[in-house]
Each structure stands twice: as structure tokens, then as C-alpha cells.
Structure 1
Amino acid sequence: MDALPIARLQFATTTSFHFLFVLLTLGLVTLVAIMQTRAALGGKPELARMTRFWGRLYVINYALGIATGIVMEFQFGLTWTGLSAFAGDVFGAPLAIETLVAFFLESTFLGLWIFGWGRLNKWVHLALVWLVALTAYASTLFIMVTNSFLQDPVGSHVQGGVLRLDSFGALFTNPALVSSLPHLLSAALLTGGFFVTGVSAYHFLKRTTEIEFFRRSMRIGVLTALAGSILTVNQGFAQFGELKMYQPGKLGQASVGLPLGLMIGVGFLALLCSLAGTVLLFRNWLTRARPLLYLMVPAIALPFAAAICGWLVREVGRQPWLIWGKLRTADALAGVGAGQILFSFIAFSLLFLILAVADWVLLARIARRGPESASAPAEPELPVLSGV
């Protein structure tokens, strides 16, 4: 039994699962920050309730996403020790910054935001949610800096059998980063927009009494999905020219043909759906078109499907290199038996499945229950525990 394909499948599974949590987290935190800003500036009372409702869903997804990220980190030391030995001096720096600065700061600001409801000045509380959003984006930046280095190892040279860093600044001007980061961030907006739209559609199908609440939510979701889909498609095609420079022939590989085609197809479908939804916002036609509402709920999965396909194109297309032109995947594998890797793959997969199911159950429960009543106390219940 060959250990390499098992190890590759293991890492592909864990990174794909974690990536889905990240997309929804980034999309939702941006929308929550926008909602709270409008509420603080004197918007209607529904905006404050929307902030709490969608913020509760965001916190649940964020908390379980952390667990998936921790599991993923273990694999660098368990399975890919050759990567750390060869290039740890280079990609270890952005990973350390992501963990010590962006991640811990984000968690701290989020904790203050959660427990600050009804206790902090509204402007301080608003600043906290934007700090949560900014540190989330910073965390994504440093992760993508690391991944982009694997795609195009700029600013480094081989010395004594290991990679040495020449310029830290070169990591941030890496063509593999400049072309992919906007694509990922816009995909997160698309994901958040489709999620808010789909949940709102569900409540209209159930004849909700919260008409104004979910009408406003759907409007924000549809417009966000439109902006995200336009940018995602645009930035996706913008990468093709860059790819020809640092990974020539990648898109011509048979292994990426199917996921690439599916990603493009789903991306254009999401764009068409967003355009149609935006037109139907006129005179609230969208909220009354029940056949379309039935389609909006399963359409929540569209951005996730496109994201998985895009991740496969980016990662599978790099093979057989783990670091393009510098380190082959086979040479980075730890010296452990295939049986051990298979056991850890099964264990990690089961853990991820449990986390995914828990995330779905909690999100679905809170989403179905809807927002707290307008007469509820100003200080809401703890966002995470409310769904348990």
C-alpha cells in the first residue's frame, strides 16, 4: 500500500472542509458588520435585530471552523515533515504571524463583541465587529501568502539543502497571491450573500410574520451575492494570464479540466441567479415568487461547490510539486507507514464529519427558529449556547 496517495487525500479532505467554514465566516462577518453599522447610524430597529440574528449564525460557524483548522495544522507535523524541514524557514513566518497576530486578535475582539452586547458604548461595540472582520481578512491574507509561496516560491533561494528567504516583501507581491486573493475574498462575499438569501427565502416559504426583517435581509443578501459573483467571475478569469507566467501548462492538465469547467459553470450560474434576484427585488417581486424561493434554499450550496472545484484546480494542478519547481510532494512525505497514515486519515475524516454535521445542525436550528422577538431584552442570550 502506497502512503503518498493516502496522505494527499487526507490533506485534500481536511483543507477542503476547513475552506468551506472559512468562506462562510468571511462572508457573514462582513454582512454582520455592515448591518451593525447601519443600525448604529440610526437605521430601523430591524437592523439591530438582524445584526444579532446573523451574528449568532456567524459565531457558530466560526467556533466550529476553528476546530477544523486545528486538526489541519496537525498534519504538517504528522505527515509532511519534509516540507517543514526544507521550507519551514520561509513559510513558517507568515503562518506564525497568522496564528499569533491575526487569529488571536480576531478571537479576542470577537469575545469582546459577544459579551459586549448591552454593556459597551454602541460605537465601541461597532468598532469591535469591524476589528473582527479586519483581523479575519488579515488571517486570510497570511494563509494565502503561505499557499501562494507553494505555488510560486518567490523571494527565496536554496542554500545548504533548504530554502532561505531573500525578501519578506516579495511574499506579498507574489503573482500567485495578487491574482488569487481578490478571487477568494469575493467568493466569500458570494457565499455569505447566498446564505443570507437562502435562509430568508426559507422563512418566506414558511409564511413568516417577520416580513420586514427577512425582506431587508434578503435585499442585503441578493445585492451582496451580485457584487460577489461579478467580482468572483472577473477575478477568476484574471488569474489565467498570471498562471501562464508562474505555472505554464497547469490549466492544460487533464486532472483539472473537470473541476475547472464545473467551477466556471457554477460561477456563471451564480451570477445569473444574482442578476435575476436583483431585478426581482423591484416592488418585492422576489419575496412573493414562491417557485423561486424554493430554488433559493438549495442554492446556498452553489458557492461551496464552486469553491471546492476551485481549490482542486489550484492544488491538484500543482502536482507533482508541493513547492513548485523546488520540492516534490513525494519528497515531503514523512517517513511513516501507509497503515498509520490511513488510520489518521479515517480518524480525521470522522472528526471532520462530526464537526460538519454539528455545524449544519446548529446553523439549521438557529436559522429555522428565526430572530428574537422585538420585545426581547436588549441584552441577548449568548450566541453560541443559544442553539444548543
Structure 2
Amino acid sequence: MDVLDLARTQFAVTGSLHFLFVVLTLGLAPLVAIMHTRWARSGKPLHEGMTRFWGQVYVINYALGIVTGLVMEFQFGLAWSGLSHYAGDVFGAPLAMETLVAFFLESTFLGLWIFGWGRLPKWAHVACIWVVTLTAYASAFYIMVANSFLQNPAGAVVTGGRMELTDFGALLTNKALIFSFPHVIGAGLFTGGMVLVGASAWRLRRRAPEVEFFTRSLRMGVVTAAIGIFLTMGFGYAQFAGVPEGKFGDHNVAAAVGLGLMIEFGQLLGLVVLLVMLPMISILPRARWTHPILIAMTPLPFALSIMGWMAREIGRQPWMIWEKLTVADAMSPGLTPGMVTASLIGFAAVLGLLAIVDYVLIARLIRRGPRALDLGAAADEPRTPALSY
């Protein structure tokens, strides 16, 4: 491949690996916040256990995912300095806001939540996880603002060979944003819900002693997945009203095929969740024959999310900013195939390793179950050394 194709491949690989963490974070954060609120209101040990168990899954995913996000920021300077020069005044603003929200507000309140067990007042502790959830969604919003600007450069004009922001309101009401952001939120809820479903089915199939714990988790996951897939499908179709003419034309066969496959598989999965799983929600925990199917369905939301993101990005080719800046002009000058190949291998290896570690740690936690958890443990509470990170 030439240097342009290598640079595109690098961003596709790192972006896809990073999005695996993001979509699960968006799905789990509100679920953990709801569990914690239930515990604060009821005081029941069951709700405390659910909060700590699924909260620990969330913390593992967040801690490793935040590292993968740093690589995405680096690449704009390493490989795409032409974009920064041409539209940095517009494109960089929402990215800067996302960085402030994610690295200052979200991480700060997550730290307060993690280390506030038994130290913060009950409702202040609950407020921390809700702030984490809201800032996670705000972070996703600013990322989608930046990406939607690439899809449809609203609110900016070209002056002196560079783009300048003239209407901030137009940037926030971009037709490429108003339906795509809820679509991403729906995908996150769908993914988080299916992780609860798959993990709970795995435990119940192995006749775990915590039957009520995972029965409630599975039912909560089914309801969340149903809400998520409904939002994903509804806002997914609504996005077509804002797709510019020619985006999925003959020159973008790969994007058109990927989009078609995503729609077909997404529709099929949506029908299964809404018309089969949701009506059977009361018997799924006891119906052991369904558990292997539910476990096998767990990776599908991740695959569909990646397919959707890839279709959105590839469909814009050959433009980096639609009809304003080509991908070739956005690339940094002076790059060689050897330089990009080396960074591609390095980034892919590190991010791929983080994804594997994320899976292994979460799988190990699920295999062990909600016993001797690290999150929220009292000083005298026994913990498993293998899971003390």
C-alpha cells in the first residue's frame, strides 16, 4: 500500500479498537448509576453487590480504554496535520472540549466514586457516578460534533485558505449530528445490555449460587438492550435524511456493502431482541437451553458498532471534510511508507494487547462472580489476590 492507504488503515485500526471500549463505557455507565441509586434507596445487599460487581467491570473497561483514546489524539498531529492546519480552529474546538470533559471532569468524579466508598455521604457518592455518566455522554457528544463537521461542514467558512467558525449554533445543530448522536447512544446501551445478558447467562448456565443476582442482571440487560436497539434502529434510519448525495456512490462500494450488511444484521438482531427476548424476559433466566445463544450474541453489538462506524467514515471518501478538503491533502507531508508502517504496527500491537487484557480481566471477574470484589471493599474484607489490580 502507498503511504495514504497505510495512514488510513492505521486510523481505521486504532479507531475501531478504541471504539470497542467506548461503546461499552456508554452502555455500562448509566446501568451502574441506576444500580447504585437502587442500593442507596433500598439498602439491600443485593443492590450493593450488583453495583460493585458491574461497577468493577466498568472501571476495568474505562481504565484500559482511556489509554487507547490518547493514541487517537496523537494521530492528528502525526499523520493528519493538513486537517489541523486547514480546519483546526473549527475541528479542534469540540476535541478540546471532549478532552476537558473526559480527562478532568469524568476522570475526577470517577476517582471520587471509586475511592469514596464508606467515605462520602451516601447521596454524594451516588451523585458522583451520575456525573460520570453525564460527562461520558458529553464526551461522546463533542466527539460526534467534531465528526459531524467532517461529514457536513456547517457553521464555518473558508477565509485565507483556512476554515473559520462563524456560527457555533449551526455546529451544534448540524444535520449530520442530530440523529447520529442518539444513534451512538443507542448502540452503547444495546452493547452494555447484551454484556449483562451474556455474562449473566454464562453464570446461570453454570448453576452459580447467586441465582437472584444474575436473574435480575439478565432481565435488566434485556430491557436495556431492547431500548438500545430500538433507538439504534430508529435514529439509524433517520440519519439517511441527512446523507449528502453521492456519499455511498459507485466509488464507495466497500462502504455501501458494509452499510448494507450492518443494516441487515442489525434488523435481524433487533427483531430477536424485541420480538423474542423481551417477551421471554421472565423465563430466560430459567431456560438453560437459551443461555448458549445469549452468550454467542454478546459480541454482535461490538461487531455491528464497528461496521457502522467504518461505513460512516469510508462513505466520506475521498473527502476528509466533505467537498472541502480531501484525505490526501489532509495527510501530513513528508511521511514515508516505512514510517507509517512502523507506527501502524506499534499502535495496533499496543491497542490490541489492551483489548485482550480488557477481555481477560473482565472474563476472569465474571468467571469468579460477585465474591471478594475489590471495588468498594472494606479494609478487613478478603479479596482475591489475582484480581487485585
Say whether the fold is shared (TM-score over 0.5). yes
1:122–1:172 Cα change, 3 Å: same
Q: Deviations over 1:95-129 (max 9, x none)?
A: 11111234310000000000011111110000000
The whole-number CA distance in structure 1 between the counterparts of 2:36 and 2:288 is 30
Structure 2: state its 5+ residue gaps: none
The whole-number CA distance in structure 2 between the counterparts of 1:324 and 1:382 is 53
1:384–1:272 Cα change, 3 Å: farther
The Cα of 1:258 is off from its aligned counterpart by 2.0
Aligned to 1:313: 311
Q: Secondary structure of the equivalent of 1:219?
A: helix
Q: Secondary structure of the equivalent of 2:200?
A: helix
The whole-number CA distance in structure 1 between the counterparts of 2:180 and 2:385 is 32
The Cα of 1:382 is off from its aligned counterpart by 9.5
AA of the residue aligned to 2:259: L
AA of the residue aligned to 1:251: F
Q: Secondary structure of the equivalent of 1:288?
A: coil
The whole-number CA distance in structure 2 between the counterparts of 1:89 and 1:146 is 11
The Cα of 1:378 is off from its aligned counterpart by 5.2
The Cα of 1:384 is off from its aligned counterpart by 12
Q: Secondary structure of the equivalent of 1:178?
A: coil
Q: Secondary structure of the equivalent of 2:117?
A: coil
Q: Number of residue pairs matched? A: 382
Select which of 237, 247, 252 maps to 1:250.
247
Aligned to 1:334: 332
In the alignment, is residue 23 of structure 1 matched against residue 20 of structure 2?
Answer: no
The whole-number CA distance in structure 2 between the counterparts of 1:381 and 1:317 is 53
The whole-number CA distance in structure 1 between the counterparts of 2:357 and 2:217 is 25
In the alignment, is residue 355 of structure 1 matched against residue 354 of structure 2?
Answer: yes
Q: Secondary structure of the equivalent of 2:177?
A: helix
The whole-number CA distance in structure 2 between the counterparts of 1:382 and 1:369 is 11
- Runs (4+) off by over 4 Å: 376-385
The 5 Å alignment of 1:190-201 reads 190-201=190-201
The whole-number CA distance in structure 2 between the counterparts of 1:270 and 1:103 is 35
Q: Deviations over 1:196-230 (max 9, x none)?
A: 00000000111100001001101100000011111
Q: Deviations over 1:26-79 (max 9, x none)?
A: 100110001111111116321111000000000000011011001111111111
The Cα of 1:272 is off from its aligned counterpart by 2.4
1:277–1:384 Cα change, 3 Å: farther
The Cα of 1:20 is off from its aligned counterpart by 1.2
1:210–1:125 Cα change, 3 Å: same
1:318–1:383 Cα change, 3 Å: farther
Aligned to 1:140: 140
Aligned to 2:117: 117
1:385–1:132 Cα change, 3 Å: farther
Aligned to 2:215: 215
The Cα of 1:251 is off from its aligned counterpart by 3.3
Q: Which moved more, 1:40-49 or 1:1-10?
A: 40-49
Aligned to 1:153: 153
The Cα of 1:385 is off from its aligned counterpart by 8.6
The answer to whether the 8 Å contact 1:148/1:176 transfers is yes
The 5 Å alignment of 1:228-377 reads 228-243=228-243, 247-252=244-249, 253-275=252-274, 276-282=276-282, 285-335=283-333, 336-372=335-371
The 5 Å alignment of 1:56-135 reads 56-135=56-135
The answer to whether the 8 Å contact 2:183/2:232 transfers is yes
AA of the residue aligned to 2:152: D
The whole-number CA distance in structure 2 between the counterparts of 1:272 and 1:44 is 35
The whole-number CA distance in structure 2 between the counterparts of 1:304 and 1:19 is 9
The Cα of 1:271 is off from its aligned counterpart by 1.7
The answer to whether the 8 Å contact 1:202/1:297 transfers is yes
Q: Secondary structure of the equivalent of 2:278?
A: helix
1:207–1:315 Cα change, 3 Å: same
The Cα of 1:267 is off from its aligned counterpart by 1.6
1:57–1:385 Cα change, 3 Å: farther
The Cα of 1:303 is off from its aligned counterpart by 0.6
1:107–1:297 Cα change, 3 Å: same
Q: Deviations over 1:12-36 (max 9, x none)?
A: 1111111111000110011000111
Q: Which moved more, 1:259-268 or 1:353-362?
A: 259-268
1:382–1:192 Cα change, 3 Å: farther
Name the TM-score, length of structure 2 as normaliser: 0.94
The Cα of 1:381 is off from its aligned counterpart by 8.2
AA of the residue aligned to 2:47: L
RMSD in angstroms over aligned alpha carbons?
1.9
Give the percent of matched residue pairs that are identical in Structure 1 and Structure 2.
55
The whole-number CA distance in structure 2 between the counterparts of 1:58 and 1:36 is 13
Name the TM-score, length of structure 1 as normaliser: 0.94
Aligned to 1:10: 10
Q: Which moved more, 1:315-324 or 1:85-94?
A: 85-94
Aligned to 1:183: 183
The answer to whether the 8 Å contact 2:372/2:382 transfers is no
The answer to whether the 8 Å contact 1:114/1:383 transfers is no
